[in-house]
Structure 1
Amino acid sequence: MANTPQSKKRARQNERRFAINKARRSRIRTYLRKVEEAIASGDQDAAQAALRAAQPELMRGVTKGVFHKNTASRKISRLASRVKSLG
């Protein structure tokens, strides 16, 4: 348990950041799920549209420190190749 004022403040900051990052991660996963669902349905146009919507969200997660840059790039690359293979 936090005892010093500094550690109490850090605990509060960590809670706040955790909540914000959790919301961001959830939002990004929602966009990724929409791409996955479009791929599963076999609709290339819908999948491309969903991927275009998901890309900036993923990269925003990188700038906010939720994901590593290479992780986001890898996810985008793999999704893009799967969308491309639908056609």
Structure 2
Amino acid sequence: MANIKSAKKRAITNEKSRLRNKAIKTNLKTAQKEFDQAILSNDVEKAQEACKVASKKFDMAASKGIIHKNAADRKKAQLAKKVNALG
């Protein structure tokens, strides 16, 4: 553990942000899994709704710097491609 006061504060801040980032990443994975289940069930309407929700979550994560903007855009494009292939 750090001895300097500012380093102690920084360690606490880092831990808070690590937990927040972990929660958001978990939320992203959950949204992607829900989308994948909708695709597997061949339900176009449900897949479109899941795509919309997942895209919003990817954008939010990218805006907070949790994932890179290009990575978020790539994931969103992959989701849209799967929805369009469904029909």
TM range, smaller chain? over 0.9
- 1:83 maps to 83
In 2: Cα distance, 1:47 partner to 1:54 partner:
10
The TM-score normalised by the length of structure 2 is 0.92
Match in the other structure for 1:8:
8
**Partner residue in 2 for 1:29:** 29
Choose 73-82 or 24-33, whichever is displaced more: 24-33
Q: CA deviation at 1:54?
A: 1.3
Aligned-pair CA distance for 1:28: 1.6
> Which residue identity lines up with residue 48 of structure 1 in the other structure?
Q
Instruction: Describe the SS at the equivalent of 2:65.
Output: coil
Separation in 1 of the partners of 2:2 and 2:41?
Answer: 50
The amino acid across from 2:81 in the alignment is S
Residue 72 of structure 1 and its aligned partner are, at CA, apart by 0.4
Runs of 4+ more than 3 Å apart: none
Tell me the C-alpha RMSD between the 2 structures.
Answer: 1.0
What are structure 1's unaligned runs of at least 5 residues?
none
Alignment correspondent of 2:20: 20
Q: Which amino acid aligns with 1:26?
A: T
In structure 2, runs of 5+ residues without a counterpart are none
Aligned to 1:57: 57
| 1:52 alignment partner, SS class | helix
Identity %: 39
Task: Specify the alignment match of 2:44 in structure 1.
Answer: 44
Could you give the per-residue CA deviations for residues 49-71 of structure 1, whole angstroms, max 9, x where no partner exists? Answer: 11011111110111111111000
